[in-house]
Amino acid sequence: MLTVCPYFHVHQPFRVKNYRVFDIGEDTEYFNDMSGTDVDNRFIVEKVANKSYRPTNKVLKELLDKHPEFRFNLSFSGTVLDQFEMYAPDVLESFQELVATGRVEILADTYHHSLAFFYSVPEFKRQVKQHERKIQKLFGVKPRVFRNTELSYRNDLAKWCEDNGYIGIMSEGWEKYLGWRSPNHLYRPPGCSKIKVLLKNYKLSDDVAFRFGNKEWADFPLSADTYANWINAHHGDGSTVNLFMDYESFGEHQWEDTGIFDFLRHLPEMVLRHPDSGFKTATETVQAYDTAGEYDVPDVLTWADTDRDLTAWTGNDIQQDAIAATYRMERDVMRTKNRHLIETWRKLQTSDHFYYMCTKWSNDGDVHAYFSPYKSPYDAYVNFMNALSDLQLRVKHVVDQKDREAEQADQSDQAARNTMTEEEIETQVARRVQQAMEKLAQTSATKPKKKAADTTNPSTAASDQPQPSFLGNLWSRVKKVFPVTPSK
């Protein structure tokens, strides 16, 4: 038995418009270009919808209707779902129809297509949860297999996923870590006992994603027949062929005139000609097969370039500067508790912004190796940093105000203390502690669902419990203002 596990990644970032130094402090909209060019997000979504999302979903729906054996996986960034809701609701509906067949699995992801895992695990976790809520709301399902931005992967990410209840995770099947072994098996990350890694068969995946329309390629033009034979040739060499690629390969990266839609339309039929071949979703794959050994990835592995690392996002000084400046804001941004500011900050974490600043191949004159809506990596950096500077100002404004309020509160406490007798102080402290306990009891009472979930998953239970920091903070404030021990 050999099964194919296709997975298509759907993503669009919120591109930053031409945002000048003069706009800092004046303009709080960073993503609202309306020029009809490549930084106009609505324009891009509408363009790609016509070229890729609409026609591809039509073909995929036909295939699901025609072949009951056909299955595949999708992953969405939250940023693309937001843009579908705003600019192309019909596209979102067509995806919902696919998922409603029950044969299309959705994978877990970060909401903002970010590299947060490598910069702030707490922020990463918040984005994964936010993504989970969005998927639940739009599709009514809960993802069980994880894939990280740009297929970036490391041993500790697998461990995190296992600790957070995922049964599978996706990664690149790279010789450096595979050695002589086949990517067509499931593997176990070191230090994990349950989670399984699905490895991308990059040769077969890239035949479609990158080489399909290349007239220079020896195998051009590639027919579904030939390709199915290549897949079926793996019988005896593992159990699953994992074809991972950008969804936009269909119609956007490979244009309709390359014949990509005909190819897709005939592929399942050709694969299924072999009596022992089939399709499985990621969860089915994980549940069906055992692991064939350990896949040990101590350094970041991605699906990008020939280097398969993060250098396309964090390779040069401006990228490192921009990404460090972004995550340096975390504490202050979170302190604002302002949903809009936090969301804006997260939109700026999308990895595409840093990708546009890449200068990796530019010294060879191969500036077109990297697609970017900006004229140069430096234009991308300037727009991004100017927008980030504005956000920093807005965050600082809120944080400063909170600091001032806290100081005033301290001062009034201080003033009150000066006029109170010791007895009154003790009464007040006791009352505040009482109030705090009541509030605490209330918050835990209003989260019965969480409680229930906690019992099944001890690791989330620990972090979802009412924060001890709430009491801790209160106590430290109380002790600071009233240096007496309250009697119980």
Partner 1 sequence: MKVLTFSWEFPPAKNGGLGVACYGLTRELLETGVEVLFVLPKTQETKGNATFLFADTERLQRLGEIGEVFYGPYSQSDTNVYSIIGYDATGKPILRARTILEEAHRFAHQAALIAQMETFDVIHAHDWTSYLAGVAAKIATGKKLVLHVHATSFDQAGGDNVDPSIFNIEHEAFMMADKIVTVSEYTRNIVVNKHGVDQDKVEVVHNGCDSHEPATLPPTLAALKAQGKKIVLYHGRISIQKGVDHFIRAARRVVDVDPSVVFVVSGSGDMLQQIMNQVGEMRLSQHVRFAGALWDEDRDRMYQSADLFVMPSVSEPFGLVPLEALQHGTPSVITKQSGVAEVLTHALKVDFWDVDQMANQILSALRYPAMRGQLVKEGRMQIAGFSWGTAAQKVKRLYQSLLQYATS
Residues in touch with partner 1 (CB under 8 A) = 20-22, 316-318, 320-321, 359, 362-363, 365, 367, 375-376, 378-379, 381-382, 385-386, 389
CB of 325 to partner 1, least distance (A): 9
Based on CB atoms, which residue is closest to partner 1, 74 or 358?
Answer: 358
CB of 377 to partner 1, least distance (A): 8
d(CA 14, CA 42): 9
Based on CB atoms, which residue is closest to partner 1, 296 or 317?
Answer: 317
Block residue for tokens 């993060």: 310
DSSP string, 381-440: HHHHHHHHHHHHHHHHHHHHHHHHHHHHHHHHHHHHHHHS-HHHHHHHHHHHHHHHHHHH
| Alpha helix segments (H runs only) across 88-150 | 89-100, 121-139
CB of 380 to partner 1, least distance (A): 11
| Alpha helix segments (H runs only) across 164-279 | 175-178, 202-209, 224-232, 260-272
CB of 356 to partner 1, least distance (A): 14
Q: Is 150 a catalytic residue?
A: yes
d(CA 150, CA 351): 8
CB of 52 to partner 1, least distance (A): 30
Q: Which helix (H) or strand (E) holds 312?
A: helix 311-314
DSSP letter at 108 equals B
d(CA 117, CA 132): 16
Radius of gyration of the chain (CA): 26
Count the neighbouring beta carbons within 10 Å of the beta carbon of residue 98.
Answer: 18
DSSP letter at 2 equals E
Residues facing residue 29 across a β-bridge:
none
Based on CB atoms, which residue is closest to partner 1, 362 or 427?
Answer: 362
Per DSSP bridges, beta strands 104-106 and 145-146 are unpaired
400 Cβ neighbours under 8 A, 6+ residues apart: none
Q: Which helix (H) or strand (E) holds 331?
A: helix 330-336
Based on CB atoms, which residue is closest to partner 1, 236 or 365?
Answer: 365
Q: Residue 217 has which token pair?
A: 């390629």
Based on CB atoms, which residue is closest to partner 1, 57 or 383?
Answer: 383
d(CA 364, CA 429): 70
DSSP letter at 294 equals E
Catalytic residue among 150, 162, 248, 284: 150
φ, ψ for residue 395 (rounded to 5)?
-65, -45
CB of 430 to partner 1, least distance (A): 53
CB of 61 to partner 1, least distance (A): 44
Based on CB atoms, which residue is closest to partner 1, 384 or 482?
Answer: 384
Based on CB atoms, which residue is closest to partner 1, 262 or 321?
Answer: 321
d(CA 261, CA 264): 5
221 cis-preceded (ω within 30 degrees of 0): yes
Let me know: does 201 contact 241? Beta carbons within 8 Å: yes
Based on CB atoms, which residue is closest to partner 1, 128 or 310?
Answer: 310
d(CA 393, CA 206): 44
CB of 392 to partner 1, least distance (A): 12
Based on CB atoms, which residue is closest to partner 1, 212 or 355?
Answer: 355
| Alpha helix segments (H runs only) across 140-191 | 155-163, 175-178
**Count of residues making up the chain:** 488
CB of 115 to partner 1, least distance (A): 18
Per DSSP bridges, beta strands 196-200 and 186-188 are antiparallel
Residue numbers annotated as active site = 150
